[in-house]
Amino acid sequence: MSCHIRFSDVTFGYDRHPAVHHLSGEVAEGALLAVVGPNGAGKSTLLRGVAGLLKPLSGAIDFGAHDPRNTAYLPQISEIDRSFPISMFDFAGTGLWRATGFAGGVGKAERKRVADALAAVGLSGFENRAIGTLSGGQLQRMLFARVLVQDARLIVLDEPFNAVDSKTSTDLMTILRRWHAEGRTVLAALHDLDLVQKNFPETLLLARSVVAWGKTSKVLSKPNLSAAQKLCEAFDDDAMPCPDAPHPKAA
């Protein structure tokens, strides 16, 4: 398979302070890759970089023939402003913006596309519910519906199974398997290592830098996990900023 994403000594961070540094490696077209590591390992930072929301401090990402705009990003639930007055249907419909534009018209075909996505995640009948009234599981299903509407070739998921029950987790994992079967490239930051071992053939173990990357059964060894924990505990958040790096801004 051709390379979908190539990292070349890339560093991501905030205010010139590196959070993920000197990352090199390749993600193949159609990969189903778990990104794991202790709290503070830089998982979310890396995914924000892949999604184009954070510019590298140094190094580069090459997407090959892939258009980086054709990327769907699912943020953590905590990043969603649940006080915003929007219905579940309209929120999922924001997945159409790349095709229609922010103020573009939404016709019968587009509305069916949104309705079908909500049905696929088990939310038929909830279309007019305000997002502030949703449970954690319903909110996560809605976020998956928006990704389905986007119909992207590269899918980036930040903790997609947080705050959900086992049935919701199972249902959403079925969608991930379907994306993988369709040849889409999926990167997911996860903390449930049992779920990773059962469902993800490849894993990147991160602790601000790469600890191990490859076949999941080999990456998630006790020595590797112990090394990742020690690296995160030793990392100095007050380290000097990168002297030659441009000041990044979130896109």
| pLDDT tens per residue, range 176-208 | 999 999 999 999 999 999 999 999 999 999 999
Q: Does 203 fall in a domain?
A: yes
Q: Does 121 fall in a domain?
A: yes
Q: Say what the pLDDT of residue 107 is.
A: 76
Q: Does 99 fall in a domain?
A: yes
133 phi, psi to nearest 5 deg: -100, 0
56 and 80 in a single domain? The answer is no
Q: Say what the pLDDT of residue 64 is.
A: 87
78 and 16 in a single domain? The answer is no
Q: Say what the pLDDT of residue 25 is.
A: 95
> How many angstroms separate the Cα of 148 from the Cα of each of 115, 190, 207, 245?
11, 20, 31, 36
In the numeric block, the tokens 């580069």 are attached to 60
Q: Does 169 fall in a domain?
A: no
- pTM of the predicted model, to two decimals? 0.88
Number of domains comprising the chain: 2
CB neighbour list of residue 48: distance below 8 Å, 6 or more residues apart: 12, 54, 73, 158, 250
98 and 145 in a single domain? The answer is yes
Q: Does 178 fall in a domain?
A: no
**Higher confidence at residue 78 or residue 36?**
36
Q: How confident is the model at residue 15 (pLDDT cuts 50, 70, 90)?
A: confident
Q: Say what the pLDDT of residue 115 is.
A: 94
Helix (H) or strand (E) holding 154: strand 154-158
160 and 44 in a single domain? The answer is yes
Q: Say what the pLDDT of residue 164 is.
A: 86
118 and 129 in a single domain? The answer is yes
With 70 as the cut, is the pLDDT of residue 245 above it?
no
With 70 as the cut, is the pLDDT of residue 246 above it?
no
Give 127-157 pLDDT, tens digit per residue: 999 999 999 899 999 999 999 999 999 999 9
Q: How high does pLDDT run on average in the chain?
A: 88
Q: Say what the pLDDT of residue 100 is.
A: 58
Name the nearest CA neighbour of 10 among 48, 39, 40, 36.
Answer: 48
End-to-end alpha-carbon separation of the chain, Å? 30
Q: Say what the pLDDT of residue 21 is.
A: 92
Distance CA 240, CA 11 (A): 14
Q: Say what the pLDDT of residue 31 is.
A: 96
228 and 130 in a single domain? The answer is no
Q: Say what the pLDDT of residue 209 is.
A: 93
Q: How confident is the model at residue 3 (pLDDT cuts 50, 70, 90)?
A: low
| Sheet of strand 58-62: strand arrangement | 17-28, 3-14, 58-62
Q: Say what the pLDDT of residue 105 is.
A: 63
Q: Does 221 fall in a domain?
A: yes
CATH of the domain at 6: 3.40.50.300
Domain residues for the domain of 227 are 1-66+154-164+183-237
160 and 210 in a single domain? The answer is yes
159 and 57 in a single domain? The answer is yes
158 and 146 in a single domain? The answer is no
